């Protein structure tokens, strides 16, 4: 077998494994979050897609969520990440999405979720409008463009003057992480590369936190 064929076959096997693992997780949790939804008709939304459970779990572990945390998935889609986060013991899990359709599905998934330890709220509004003053741990899976990322980070920073607190972010597929870098109140504390053989993450992930005052 040629090298390319071997590579292709390995890739197919990997995809199949991922698919089966995701199906098993969905069955176990009682939720339905798979599929890709095209929302390109909206000028600033990309599309709904999600990450494998096997990639989400270690990210959430790495955020070291505690009972004091309010975890927010900015652009929560069908709610896979909020459902995984709600299996941690935190103060609250919040999903924000501009798509009503996605919010209805996310809320239904959160209501059905088995092994839930924390309350979940799904809010249908844009990330630019949302009030982040309770948030402490944030997740983004490349939800929007550079301009919106800039607005959202400014909104979050503004809440710090009213309510000083330590924040951390996991930014998956960080296409606009230069915007995080522009924000001097933030520091990058880790980066997970897809090529890291010790982790089966499917997109790169960068981790940011607020600098201590």
| Closest C-alpha to 78, from 36, 116, 33 | 33
Identified binder of ligand SAM from the candidate list 53, 55, 70, 77, rule CB under 6 A: 77
- Annotate 16-79 with three-state secondary structure: HHHHHHHHHHHHHHCCCCCCCEECCCCCCCCEECCCCHHHHHHHHHHCCCCCCCEEEEECCCCC
Instruction: For residues 177 and 96, give the distance between their C-alpha atoms in angstroms, rounded to a whole number.
Output: 20
- Min dist CB 37 to ligand SAM, Å, is 7
Which 2-41 residues touch ligand SAM, going by CB under 6 A?
Answer: 39
3-11, 91-99, 160-168, 196-204 -> range binding ligand SAM (CB under 6 A)? 91-99
- Min dist CB 49 to ligand SAM, Å, is 5
160 binds ligand SAM (CB under 6 A): no
102 binds ligand SAM (CB under 6 A): yes
> Which parts of this chain interact with ligand SAM (CB under 6 A)?
39, 44-45, 48-51, 73, 75-77, 80-81, 96-99, 102, 126-127, 141-144, 148
């Amino acid at each position: 077998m040629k090298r390319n064929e071997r590579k292709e076959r390995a890739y197919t096997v990997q995809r199949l494994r991922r698919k089966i693992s995701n199906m098993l997780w969905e069955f176990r949790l009682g939720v339905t979050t798979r599929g890709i939804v095209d929302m390109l008709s909206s000028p600033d939304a990309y599309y709904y897609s999600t990450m494998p459970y096997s990639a989400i779990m270690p990210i959430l572990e790495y955020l070291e969520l505690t009972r004091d945390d309010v975890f927010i998935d900015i652009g929560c889609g069908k709610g896979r990440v909020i459902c995984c986060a709600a299996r941690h013991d935190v103060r609250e899990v919040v999903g924000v999405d501009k798509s009503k359709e996605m919010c209805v599905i996310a809320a239904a998934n959160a209501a059905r979720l088995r092994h839930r330890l924390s309350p979940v709220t799904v809010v249908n509004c844009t990330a630019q409008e949302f009030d982040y003053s309770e948030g402490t741990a944030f997740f983004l899976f490349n939800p929007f463009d550079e301009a919106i990322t800039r607005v959202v980070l400014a909104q979050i920073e503004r809440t710090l003057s009213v309510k000083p607190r330590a924040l951390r972010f996991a930014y998956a597929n960080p296409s606009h992480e230069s915007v995080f870098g522009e924000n001097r109140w933030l520091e990058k504390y880790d980066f997970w590369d897809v090529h890291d053989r010790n982790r089966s993450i499917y997109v790169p992930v960068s981790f940011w936190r607020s600098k201590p005052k």
